[in-house]
Amino acid sequence: MSGPDRAAEGHRADLEEAAVRDRLDRVGRSVSYYRRPADGRRAAHPPHTRIGWTTGLALGLAVVLVIAMALLNLVTVDKVLYRPAGVHDTLGEIDGQPIVNVEGLETYETSGSLDFLTIIIDGGPRSDVTAWDWLLAELDPAVDVFDAADIYPPDVTAQEIQEENVQLMTQSQLGAAVVALRATGIEVPEEVKVGQIIKGAPAAEALEVDDQILSVDGTKIDNPEEVRVQLQEHEPGDAVSFTLLRDGEEIELDVPTGESDPDTLEPDAPPRTIIGVYLASDFDLPYEVTIDAGNVGGPSAGMMFSLAIYDKITPGPLTGGKRFAGTGTINSDGTVGGIGGIVQKMYAAERQGVDYFLAPAANCAQVVGRIPGDLEVIRIENFTQARDIVEALGEDEDITVPRCS
Protein backbone atom coordinates (compact mmCIF):
# COMPACT_ATOMS: atom_id res chain seq x y z
CA MET A 1 0.00 0.00 0.00
CA SER A 2 1.38 3.31 -1.04
CA GLY A 3 2.10 6.11 1.45
CA PRO A 4 -0.97 8.17 0.50
CA ASP A 5 -3.18 5.08 0.82
CA ARG A 6 -1.85 4.29 4.31
CA ALA A 7 -2.43 7.90 5.39
CA ALA A 8 -5.99 7.80 4.12
CA GLU A 9 -6.61 4.51 5.90
CA GLY A 10 -5.31 5.95 9.22
CA HIS A 11 -7.45 9.01 8.84
CA ARG A 12 -10.57 6.85 8.36
CA ALA A 13 -9.69 4.86 11.53
CA ASP A 14 -9.40 8.06 13.53
CA LEU A 15 -12.77 9.21 12.22
CA GLU A 16 -14.40 5.89 13.14
CA GLU A 17 -13.01 5.99 16.71
CA ALA A 18 -14.20 9.57 17.11
CA ALA A 19 -17.63 8.53 15.86
CA VAL A 20 -17.76 5.68 18.44
CA ARG A 21 -16.87 8.06 21.26
CA ASP A 22 -19.49 10.51 20.05
CA ARG A 23 -22.20 7.81 20.03
CA LEU A 24 -21.25 6.70 23.56
CA ASP A 25 -21.52 10.26 24.78
CA ARG A 26 -24.95 10.57 23.26
CA VAL A 27 -26.14 7.28 24.83
CA GLY A 28 -25.33 8.65 28.28
CA ARG A 29 -22.39 10.08 30.09
CA SER A 30 -23.27 7.95 33.12
CA VAL A 31 -21.99 4.90 31.26
CA SER A 32 -18.40 4.26 32.16
CA TYR A 33 -16.03 1.73 30.75
CA TYR A 34 -12.53 0.63 31.55
CA ARG A 35 -9.85 -0.23 29.11
CA ARG A 36 -7.18 -2.73 29.96
CA PRO A 37 -3.96 -0.81 30.54
CA ALA A 38 -1.49 -0.82 27.68
CA ASP A 39 0.97 -2.91 29.74
CA GLY A 40 -1.58 -5.73 30.05
CA ARG A 41 -2.26 -5.39 33.80
CA ARG A 42 -5.78 -6.06 35.08
CA ALA A 43 -7.77 -2.86 35.49
CA ALA A 44 -8.68 -1.92 39.07
CA HIS A 45 -12.34 -2.21 40.11
CA PRO A 46 -14.05 1.15 40.49
CA PRO A 47 -14.84 2.33 44.06
CA HIS A 48 -18.35 1.58 45.37
CA THR A 49 -20.59 3.14 48.08
CA ARG A 50 -22.37 0.03 49.33
CA ILE A 51 -22.49 -0.31 53.24
CA GLY A 52 -21.65 -3.66 54.82
CA TRP A 53 -24.11 -5.24 57.24
CA THR A 54 -21.83 -4.74 60.27
CA THR A 55 -21.38 -1.06 59.49
CA GLY A 56 -25.11 -0.70 58.96
CA LEU A 57 -25.84 -2.40 62.28
CA ALA A 58 -23.41 -0.11 64.11
CA LEU A 59 -24.96 2.98 62.56
CA GLY A 60 -28.44 1.74 63.44
CA LEU A 61 -27.47 1.13 67.05
CA ALA A 62 -25.89 4.58 67.25
CA VAL A 63 -29.09 6.18 66.03
CA VAL A 64 -31.16 4.20 68.55
CA LEU A 65 -28.78 5.20 71.37
CA VAL A 66 -28.95 8.88 70.47
CA ILE A 67 -32.75 8.77 70.38
CA ALA A 68 -32.87 6.90 73.73
CA MET A 69 -30.53 9.44 75.36
CA ALA A 70 -32.66 12.29 74.06
CA LEU A 71 -35.83 10.71 75.45
CA LEU A 72 -34.20 9.93 78.83
CA ASN A 73 -33.08 13.56 79.08
CA LEU A 74 -36.67 14.71 78.58
CA VAL A 75 -38.10 12.56 81.40
CA THR A 76 -37.63 13.70 85.02
CA VAL A 77 -37.66 11.40 88.04
CA ASP A 78 -38.44 12.10 91.69
CA LYS A 79 -34.91 11.36 92.87
CA VAL A 80 -32.13 13.19 94.72
CA LEU A 81 -28.48 12.64 93.79
CA TYR A 82 -25.51 13.26 96.09
CA ARG A 83 -22.24 13.90 94.21
CA PRO A 84 -18.69 14.73 95.41
CA ALA A 85 -17.75 18.40 95.12
CA GLY A 86 -15.14 20.79 96.49
CA VAL A 87 -12.37 20.53 99.09
CA HIS A 88 -11.39 23.67 101.06
CA ASP A 89 -8.61 24.14 103.62
CA THR A 90 -9.97 25.81 106.75
CA LEU A 91 -6.43 27.08 107.41
CA GLY A 92 -6.35 28.74 103.99
CA GLU A 93 -8.35 31.27 101.99
CA ILE A 94 -11.38 31.54 99.73
CA ASP A 95 -11.33 34.33 97.14
CA GLY A 96 -8.30 35.87 98.80
CA GLN A 97 -9.89 36.05 102.25
CA PRO A 98 -8.89 33.81 105.18
CA ILE A 99 -11.57 31.29 106.02
CA VAL A 100 -10.88 31.58 109.76
CA ASN A 101 -9.95 34.87 111.41
CA VAL A 102 -9.55 35.63 115.13
CA GLU A 103 -9.24 39.16 116.54
CA GLY A 104 -8.28 40.24 120.05
CA LEU A 105 -6.37 37.02 120.74
CA GLU A 106 -2.81 36.07 119.79
CA THR A 107 -2.62 33.71 116.82
CA TYR A 108 0.19 31.48 115.53
CA GLU A 109 1.52 30.14 112.23
CA THR A 110 0.03 26.89 110.97
CA SER A 111 1.01 24.30 108.39
CA GLY A 112 -0.53 21.34 106.61
CA SER A 113 -4.26 21.49 106.06
CA LEU A 114 -7.58 20.83 107.80
CA ASP A 115 -9.92 20.43 104.86
CA PHE A 116 -13.69 20.59 104.91
CA LEU A 117 -15.62 19.04 102.04
CA THR A 118 -18.78 19.82 100.12
CA ILE A 119 -21.21 17.88 97.98
CA ILE A 120 -23.54 18.72 95.11
CA ILE A 121 -27.20 17.83 95.64
CA ASP A 122 -29.27 17.45 92.49
CA GLY A 123 -33.03 17.04 92.61
CA GLY A 124 -35.78 18.05 95.02
CA PRO A 125 -37.14 21.61 94.99
CA ARG A 126 -33.92 23.17 93.66
CA SER A 127 -33.34 21.23 90.42
CA ASP A 128 -34.61 18.42 88.22
CA VAL A 129 -33.09 14.97 87.81
CA THR A 130 -33.58 13.34 84.42
CA ALA A 131 -33.88 9.63 83.84
CA TRP A 132 -30.49 9.79 82.10
CA ASP A 133 -28.92 11.45 85.19
CA TRP A 134 -30.45 8.73 87.35
CA LEU A 135 -29.11 5.93 85.13
CA LEU A 136 -25.58 7.32 85.18
CA ALA A 137 -25.75 7.86 88.95
CA GLU A 138 -26.72 4.24 89.56
CA LEU A 139 -23.55 3.19 87.75
CA ASP A 140 -21.24 5.56 89.67
CA PRO A 141 -19.99 4.30 93.08
CA ALA A 142 -19.24 7.90 94.14
CA VAL A 143 -22.90 8.96 93.77
CA ASP A 144 -25.80 8.06 96.06
CA VAL A 145 -29.42 8.04 94.92
CA PHE A 146 -32.38 8.72 97.24
CA ASP A 147 -36.10 9.12 96.86
CA ALA A 148 -36.84 12.84 97.11
CA ALA A 149 -39.46 12.20 99.82
CA ASP A 150 -36.73 10.71 102.06
CA ILE A 151 -34.63 13.88 101.85
CA TYR A 152 -37.04 16.83 101.73
CA PRO A 153 -40.29 17.48 103.61
CA PRO A 154 -43.40 17.87 101.46
CA ASP A 155 -44.03 21.33 99.98
CA VAL A 156 -40.66 22.74 101.08
CA THR A 157 -39.31 25.41 98.72
CA ALA A 158 -35.81 26.03 97.41
CA GLN A 159 -35.78 29.38 99.25
CA GLU A 160 -36.66 27.71 102.55
CA ILE A 161 -33.88 25.16 102.07
CA GLN A 162 -31.37 27.92 101.33
CA GLU A 163 -32.40 29.94 104.38
CA GLU A 164 -32.16 26.92 106.65
CA ASN A 165 -28.70 26.01 105.33
CA VAL A 166 -27.47 29.54 105.95
CA GLN A 167 -28.84 29.45 109.49
CA LEU A 168 -27.28 26.04 110.17
CA MET A 169 -23.91 27.23 108.86
CA THR A 170 -24.05 30.29 111.13
CA GLN A 171 -24.84 28.14 114.17
CA SER A 172 -22.10 25.69 113.18
CA GLN A 173 -19.49 28.45 112.97
CA LEU A 174 -20.51 29.89 116.32
CA GLY A 175 -20.44 26.45 117.95
CA ALA A 176 -16.98 25.80 116.49
CA ALA A 177 -15.64 29.04 117.98
CA VAL A 178 -17.09 28.21 121.39
CA VAL A 179 -15.60 24.70 121.41
CA ALA A 180 -12.15 25.90 120.33
CA LEU A 181 -12.03 28.73 122.86
CA ARG A 182 -13.20 26.51 125.69
CA ALA A 183 -10.56 23.92 124.73
CA THR A 184 -7.90 26.50 125.60
CA GLY A 185 -9.50 27.24 128.99
CA ILE A 186 -11.39 30.38 127.94
CA GLU A 187 -14.83 30.64 129.56
CA VAL A 188 -17.77 31.21 127.21
CA PRO A 189 -21.23 31.64 128.83
CA GLU A 190 -24.13 29.91 127.04
CA GLU A 191 -27.91 30.23 127.03
CA VAL A 192 -30.05 27.51 125.41
CA LYS A 193 -33.13 28.82 123.60
CA VAL A 194 -35.90 27.64 121.31
CA GLY A 195 -34.70 28.73 117.89
CA GLN A 196 -37.47 27.38 115.66
CA ILE A 197 -40.65 25.35 116.09
CA ILE A 198 -41.47 22.80 113.40
CA LYS A 199 -44.98 23.03 112.01
CA GLY A 200 -47.22 20.49 113.77
CA ALA A 201 -44.56 19.75 116.43
CA PRO A 202 -45.68 18.08 119.71
CA ALA A 203 -44.49 21.17 121.62
CA ALA A 204 -45.99 23.70 119.20
CA GLU A 205 -48.69 24.82 121.67
CA ALA A 206 -46.44 24.85 124.74
CA LEU A 207 -43.17 26.48 123.65
CA GLU A 208 -42.42 29.80 121.95
CA VAL A 209 -39.45 30.97 119.92
CA ASP A 210 -36.79 32.61 122.15
CA ASP A 211 -37.89 30.70 125.27
CA GLN A 212 -34.74 30.10 127.31
CA ILE A 213 -34.58 26.54 128.69
CA LEU A 214 -33.28 26.63 132.25
CA SER A 215 -33.91 23.01 133.24
CA VAL A 216 -35.59 19.80 132.09
CA ASP A 217 -36.97 17.43 134.76
CA GLY A 218 -35.15 19.56 137.33
CA THR A 219 -31.74 19.09 135.64
CA LYS A 220 -29.93 22.36 134.85
CA ILE A 221 -29.36 22.84 131.12
CA ASP A 222 -26.01 24.19 129.91
CA ASN A 223 -26.12 23.16 126.24
CA PRO A 224 -28.64 21.78 123.72
CA GLU A 225 -27.31 18.23 123.92
CA GLU A 226 -28.36 18.05 127.58
CA VAL A 227 -31.97 18.72 126.54
CA ARG A 228 -31.83 15.81 124.07
CA VAL A 229 -30.34 13.50 126.69
CA GLN A 230 -33.05 14.34 129.22
CA LEU A 231 -35.80 13.73 126.65
CA GLN A 232 -34.54 10.19 126.02
CA GLU A 233 -35.37 9.36 129.65
CA HIS A 234 -39.03 9.46 128.57
CA GLU A 235 -41.17 7.47 126.13
CA PRO A 236 -42.62 9.28 123.11
CA GLY A 237 -45.96 10.75 124.14
CA ASP A 238 -44.94 11.55 127.72
CA ALA A 239 -45.18 15.10 129.05
CA VAL A 240 -41.84 16.44 130.32
CA SER A 241 -41.35 19.19 132.91
CA PHE A 242 -39.53 22.28 131.55
CA THR A 243 -38.45 25.39 133.45
CA LEU A 244 -38.25 28.37 131.08
CA LEU A 245 -37.41 32.04 131.08
CA ARG A 246 -39.99 33.83 128.92
CA ASP A 247 -40.06 37.62 128.58
CA GLY A 248 -38.00 37.92 131.74
CA GLU A 249 -40.33 35.69 133.80
CA GLU A 250 -39.48 32.18 135.01
CA ILE A 251 -42.26 29.67 134.29
CA GLU A 252 -42.77 25.88 134.51
CA LEU A 253 -44.56 23.87 131.81
CA ASP A 254 -45.34 20.25 131.01
CA VAL A 255 -44.22 19.91 127.39
CA PRO A 256 -45.73 17.15 125.18
CA THR A 257 -43.36 14.84 123.29
CA GLY A 258 -43.59 12.69 120.17
CA GLU A 259 -41.70 10.09 118.17
CA SER A 260 -38.99 10.90 115.63
CA ASP A 261 -39.21 9.87 111.98
CA PRO A 262 -36.83 7.13 110.78
CA ASP A 263 -33.26 8.36 110.48
CA THR A 264 -32.07 8.30 106.85
CA LEU A 265 -28.48 7.87 108.11
CA GLU A 266 -29.43 5.00 110.45
CA PRO A 267 -32.75 3.54 109.24
CA ASP A 268 -32.57 0.67 111.74
CA ALA A 269 -32.05 2.92 114.76
CA PRO A 270 -34.91 3.02 117.30
CA PRO A 271 -37.11 6.15 117.28
CA ARG A 272 -36.20 9.01 119.61
CA THR A 273 -38.36 11.09 121.93
CA ILE A 274 -38.66 14.59 120.49
CA ILE A 275 -40.49 17.86 121.11
CA GLY A 276 -40.19 19.10 117.51
CA VAL A 277 -38.12 22.25 117.93
CA TYR A 278 -34.68 23.44 116.84
CA LEU A 279 -32.57 24.50 119.79
CA ALA A 280 -30.12 27.38 119.52
CA SER A 281 -27.53 28.79 121.87
CA ASP A 282 -26.72 32.39 122.63
CA PHE A 283 -23.06 32.89 123.49
CA ASP A 284 -21.12 35.82 124.83
CA LEU A 285 -17.82 35.41 122.98
CA PRO A 286 -14.94 37.29 124.65
CA TYR A 287 -13.11 37.50 121.28
CA GLU A 288 -14.27 38.07 117.71
CA VAL A 289 -14.06 34.91 115.63
CA THR A 290 -15.23 35.07 112.03
CA ILE A 291 -15.50 32.26 109.50
CA ASP A 292 -15.95 32.96 105.78
CA ALA A 293 -16.83 29.76 103.91
CA GLY A 294 -18.07 31.45 100.75
CA ASN A 295 -21.45 30.21 99.53
CA VAL A 296 -21.24 26.91 101.42
CA GLY A 297 -24.22 26.17 103.67
CA GLY A 298 -25.18 23.60 106.26
CA PRO A 299 -23.64 22.47 109.56
CA SER A 300 -21.29 19.68 108.43
CA ALA A 301 -18.00 21.64 108.57
CA GLY A 302 -18.33 22.38 112.30
CA MET A 303 -15.68 19.96 113.53
CA MET A 304 -13.09 21.11 110.99
CA PHE A 305 -13.78 24.77 111.79
CA SER A 306 -13.23 24.09 115.49
CA LEU A 307 -9.90 22.35 114.78
CA ALA A 308 -8.77 25.25 112.58
CA ILE A 309 -9.62 27.88 115.21
CA TYR A 310 -7.85 25.87 117.90
CA ASP A 311 -4.80 25.45 115.65
CA LYS A 312 -4.57 29.20 115.05
CA ILE A 313 -4.87 30.24 118.71
CA THR A 314 -2.40 27.68 120.10
CA PRO A 315 1.38 27.54 119.52
CA GLY A 316 2.77 25.12 116.95
CA PRO A 317 1.06 23.55 113.92
CA LEU A 318 -1.52 21.00 115.02
CA THR A 319 -1.15 18.89 111.86
CA GLY A 320 2.64 18.65 111.78
CA GLY A 321 2.42 19.62 108.11
CA LYS A 322 0.20 16.68 107.16
CA ARG A 323 -3.05 16.94 105.26
CA PHE A 324 -6.25 16.08 107.14
CA ALA A 325 -9.79 16.24 105.84
CA GLY A 326 -13.00 15.57 107.68
CA THR A 327 -16.63 16.30 108.31
CA GLY A 328 -19.14 16.38 111.16
CA THR A 329 -21.34 18.80 113.04
CA ILE A 330 -20.13 20.24 116.32
CA ASN A 331 -22.18 20.89 119.44
CA SER A 332 -21.10 23.44 122.02
CA ASP A 333 -20.12 20.59 124.35
CA GLY A 334 -17.72 19.26 121.69
CA THR A 335 -19.85 16.33 120.53
CA VAL A 336 -19.35 15.53 116.83
CA GLY A 337 -22.58 14.66 115.01
CA GLY A 338 -23.40 12.77 111.83
CA ILE A 339 -23.90 14.38 108.44
CA GLY A 340 -25.29 13.55 105.01
CA GLY A 341 -23.10 12.73 102.01
CA ILE A 342 -20.29 10.99 103.90
CA VAL A 343 -19.48 8.72 100.94
CA GLN A 344 -19.23 11.64 98.53
CA LYS A 345 -16.95 13.49 100.93
CA MET A 346 -14.66 10.47 101.25
CA TYR A 347 -14.38 10.30 97.47
CA ALA A 348 -13.60 14.03 97.29
CA ALA A 349 -10.87 13.61 99.92
CA GLU A 350 -9.38 10.53 98.24
CA ARG A 351 -9.21 12.31 94.87
CA GLN A 352 -7.30 15.17 96.51
CA GLY A 353 -4.78 12.80 98.07
CA VAL A 354 -5.34 13.70 101.74
CA ASP A 355 -3.41 11.77 104.38
CA TYR A 356 -6.27 11.13 106.85
CA PHE A 357 -10.04 11.49 106.85
CA LEU A 358 -11.97 12.20 110.08
CA ALA A 359 -15.48 10.70 109.99
CA PRO A 360 -18.24 11.08 112.61
CA ALA A 361 -18.94 7.90 114.58
CA ALA A 362 -22.62 8.36 113.76
CA ASN A 363 -21.81 7.79 110.06
CA CYS A 364 -20.01 4.47 110.51
CA ALA A 365 -22.88 2.52 108.93
CA GLN A 366 -22.33 4.45 105.68
CA VAL A 367 -18.53 4.28 105.86
CA VAL A 368 -18.12 0.50 106.16
CA GLY A 369 -17.58 -1.09 102.76
CA ARG A 370 -17.59 2.23 100.86
CA ILE A 371 -14.11 3.65 101.55
CA PRO A 372 -12.53 4.61 98.21
CA GLY A 373 -8.99 3.58 97.33
CA ASP A 374 -6.48 3.59 100.18
CA LEU A 375 -8.08 6.47 102.10
CA GLU A 376 -7.39 6.16 105.84
CA VAL A 377 -10.66 6.88 107.67
CA ILE A 378 -10.70 7.58 111.41
CA ARG A 379 -13.80 7.32 113.61
CA ILE A 380 -14.45 10.51 115.65
CA GLU A 381 -16.91 11.08 118.51
CA ASN A 382 -15.90 14.47 119.92
CA PHE A 383 -13.60 17.45 119.48
CA THR A 384 -11.09 16.42 122.13
CA GLN A 385 -10.58 13.04 120.48
CA ALA A 386 -10.20 14.62 117.04
CA ARG A 387 -7.68 17.17 118.30
CA ASP A 388 -5.58 14.58 120.12
CA ILE A 389 -5.49 12.22 117.12
CA VAL A 390 -4.54 14.98 114.67
CA GLU A 391 -1.80 16.19 117.01
CA ALA A 392 -0.41 12.68 117.60
CA LEU A 393 -0.37 11.78 113.90
CA GLY A 394 1.15 15.17 113.10
CA GLU A 395 4.00 14.34 115.47
CA ASP A 396 4.40 10.86 113.91
CA GLU A 397 3.45 9.11 117.13
CA ASP A 398 2.77 5.38 116.82
CA ILE A 399 -0.88 5.28 117.88
CA THR A 400 -3.82 3.02 117.19
CA VAL A 401 -6.66 5.06 115.75
CA PRO A 402 -10.34 4.07 116.05
CA ARG A 403 -12.08 2.94 112.89
CA CYS A 404 -15.61 2.05 111.82
CA SER A 405 -16.30 -1.68 111.94
**What are the residue numbers of the active site?**
300, 345
How many angstroms separate the most distant Cα atoms in the chain? 145
**Of residues 192, 283, 286, the one with CA closest to residue 243:** 192
